[in-house]
Every structure is written in C-alpha cells, then in structure tokens.
Amino acid sequence: MAHFGNPAQPYSSEALEWLKSYVLNRRVRTYPFRKDQYDRLVAQVFVWKWCVRRDVGKEMIKAGLATVYEAKVGAEFGNFEEKYRAAEEKAKRKRKGMWSVKGKIESPREFKTRTTKAGDGKVAK
C-alpha cells in the first residue's frame, strides 16, 4: 500500500483485500522467528481452513499476490524458503495475480528502489 509519501505498488490493494478475506473471523496462529533490522516481527502465520492448517504467506504467493521477500541484507525464512520459492515459480507459470500482467514484473525491492531516492523519502522521477 502507499506509505511514506510513495505510491502504492500494483496489486497492493488486491493483496490486502485477499488477506482480509482469508484471515477475518478465523483462528490465526503465528510462529515468530525474530525481529528484523526494522524491528518488525518475522513469523510464519497459519489459519485453519476446512479442517486444514494453511500457511497464509504461501497461499498469498500461490495466488500471485505476494513474492518471496528479498532483503538488502539477510532475510529470515525459517525452514520454508524453498517451499515459498517453488510456490512463486508455479504462480508465475500459471500467470496468477500479478504474474498475469504481460512484460516484466517489478519486485517489491525493485519498486522501492525505483520510487524512493536513497534515504530522503522523496519519489524518484
């Protein structure tokens, strides 16, 4: 979503709506790993859906509404990075969500780099 004076990334509103509908009024369980360099809690999140425990992050990736996180410095994935990367590749092949757009898709890291000048928070032209 749009924040810090920068524009919203494509598919951000669709991803938020999907996430709300997926977790709203369901039992949610988090398995925290650690805090990242921005003091955000990094965790794996699950919901119970039709008697099956589902990984919310993986389901978003499968729907083509999220990508595997690419950090400037080491990211924490626990033991599920390989599964997330495989789910992303499958979503790309099936042209789900953001992958349905023709042409190159910009990763969140690329989008942030393009839209923000280093350290000043102003939108790049």
pLDDT digits (tens, 9 = 90+) for 30-68: 998 888 777 888 888 999 877 889 999 999 999 999 988
Indicate the pTM of the whole model: 0.79
Q: What is the pLDDT of residue 118?
A: 43
d(Cα 70, Cα 10) in Å, to the nearest integer?
Answer: 17
d(Cα 89, Cα 98) in Å, to the nearest integer?
Answer: 12
d(Cα 114, Cα 123) in Å, to the nearest integer?
Answer: 8
Q: What is the pLDDT of residues 79-95, one digit of tens each?
A: 788 899 999 999 999 99
Q: What is the pLDDT of residue 94?
A: 95
The Cβ of residue 37 has, within 10 Å, a number of other Cβ atoms equal to 10
d(Cα 122, Cα 125) in Å, to the nearest integer?
Answer: 9
Is the pLDDT reported for residue 73 higher than 60?
A: no
CATH architecture of 12-115: Beta Barrel (2.40)
Which of the pair, 52 or 74, is modelled with greater confidence?
52
Question: What mean pLDDT, rounded, does the chain reach?
Answer: 82
What residue type is assigned to position 104 of the chain?
K
